Each structure stands twice: as structure tokens, then as C-alpha cells.
Amino acid sequence: MKRFVFSGLLVFLMNFLFGQSSDRGYYITWNNDTVSAKFYIEGRASINFCLTSDGIQIIDTNKNKSWLLPTEAKECRFVFKGKEYRIFSKPDNQYGRKAFFHANIVGKRVSMFQCSSMPSMSIGRWTVTYFALEKADGTLFNTTTQETETIVKEKLRRFFNSEPSMMKLMEEKYKQNESLEKILKSLVMAYNGEEGK
């Protein structure tokens, strides 16, 4: 009896420490069907988005876990620890496949998404961050933290059609040695007519 109680307590504690389900949520399929779901989140304090790019676990009404893939859902929304999260399926630019990107900014003219992945352990434990910007008309921009400044700038020129105010802001941000994430956020906010941070 003591062993049974101890085992039950151990399973409960492991689930509490290393994984929790979302409060509520849903996903939208590529056929525009909305499906209610609970999402199983790795980690207790915050979401590790490195673990969600290739798929996210959902819990069905029978409490069975299964994987929801970016090829099956174009958007997921859920609440975790009181905060709403939106995850979108977007093409990554390295492998030509879809991946789940979490939404940094969802704007009227352009939105910003990002996901991270950890390459093979034989290479080392470094993280590559992928970014996707998408205009309201569906035009996409993709880059990673591995691309050179020259390549990223050229892609941004094409994406923003060499708009002078955007090119000036881009150069200013690069001169300030800001991270790629901060540069992209500043450009997206400016393009949407919001105050830069």
C-alpha cells in the first residue's frame, strides 16, 4: 500500500514539475475547422519554444496525448499561466518545411513570428532562432540568426521595397549593434505605425 501511494505521489510530482496542460485552447486546421484542445506544455514556469517548432502535444477528451504537427494546423491558441499564446504554422527558410512559430507581433500591415531549434548534440548546445515576417497580403520574409548581416539587409530591402524610412531605421539599428530580434521588432512596429521600443 505504501509503495502504491509513493508511486502515485511520484507520478503527480513529475507531471507537476516537468509538464502541465494549458488552461484552455483550440487550433485551426488548414480546412478552417476550429478544434478545442488542451495543450501539453513542457516545463512548469514558462514555455520552451524550442520544443514546439516541430509539433506540440495535445490532450484529447479521453486524456490521451498526441502530437499536433504544423502540417495539420495553421494556428494554435491557448492560455498558460494566465497568458494567451498564439502559435502559427509558417515555412522555415532552412529546410523548406512548415514549423510552428510563436507570434511576437500580430500587426495590421506586417506580423512577426519566431521559433528556435537546437541542432544536433554532436555539434553543440547552441540555439538557432528563425524569424518570419508576413505582410497582410501574405508576402513572407524568412531569416535566421545564422545568416550574415549583408544577406539579412538585402532580404529586408526586398521585403520593404527599399522604402527610405525603413532602410534608414534598419541602418540605425544595425549601427547600434542591436540583436536581430530587436531590429526586426523595431522595423515591424514602425511599418505598422507603432512607436518603437
pLDDT digit string, tens, across residues 31-75: 999 998 888 876 545 555 555 677 888 887 778 888 899 999 999
Cell numbers representing residue 148 in the block: 550574415
Q: Which residue has the higher pLDDT, 145 or 117?
A: 145
User: CA-to-CA distance for 83 and 49, rounded, in angstroms?
Assistant: 15
Q: What is the DSSP string of 38-104?
A: EEEEESSSS--GGGTSS-EEEE-TTS-EEEEPTTTEEEEEEEETTEEEEEEEEE-TTTSSEEEEEEE
DSSP 3-state assignment of 63?
coil
What gap in Å lies between CA 126 and CA 112, rounded to an integer?
A: 23
The pLDDT of residue 94 is: 60
The answer to whether 141 and 133 have CB atoms below 8 angstroms apart is yes
Please report, rounded to a whole number, the percentage of residues in the chain having pLDDT higher than 70.
Answer: 74
DSSP state of 197: -
Number of domains in the chain: 1
For residue 1, pLDDT over 50 is answered with no
Question: What mean pLDDT is predicted for residues 126-143?
Answer: 88
149-183: pLDDT as tens digits: 999 999 999 999 989 999 999 999 999 999 999 99
Cell of 18: 516537468
Per-residue pLDDT reduced to its tens digit, 98-109: 888 888 899 999
**What average pLDDT does the segment 103-132 reach?**
77
Whether residue 7 lies inside any domain: the answer is no
Q: Is residue 4 part of a domain?
A: no
The residue assigned the cell 540555439 is 127
In a domain, 8, yes or no: no
Q: Which residue has the cell 531549434?
A: 117
Q: Is residue 2, in this structure, part of any structural domain at all?
A: no
Report whether 78 contacts 25 (CB < 8 A). Answer: yes
Which residue segment(s) compose the domain that 88 sits in? Answer: 19-191
The model carries a pTM of 0.74
42 lies in a domain? Answer: yes
Query: At residue 85, does pLDDT exceed 60?
Result: yes
Q: How far apart are CA 10 and CA 12, in angstroms?
A: 5
**Average pLDDT over the chain, rounded to whole?**
79
Residue 1 lies in a domain: no
On whether residue 136 sits in a domain, the answer given is: yes
Measured CA to CA, the distance from residue 39 to residue 19 in angstroms comes to 10
Q: Is residue 3 part of a domain?
A: no
Q: Please say whether the beta carbons of 21 and 60 come within 8 A.
A: no
**Mean pLDDT of the region 140-144:** 90
Sheet with 65-68: list strands edge to edge.
Answer: 19-21, 38-42, 56-59, 65-68
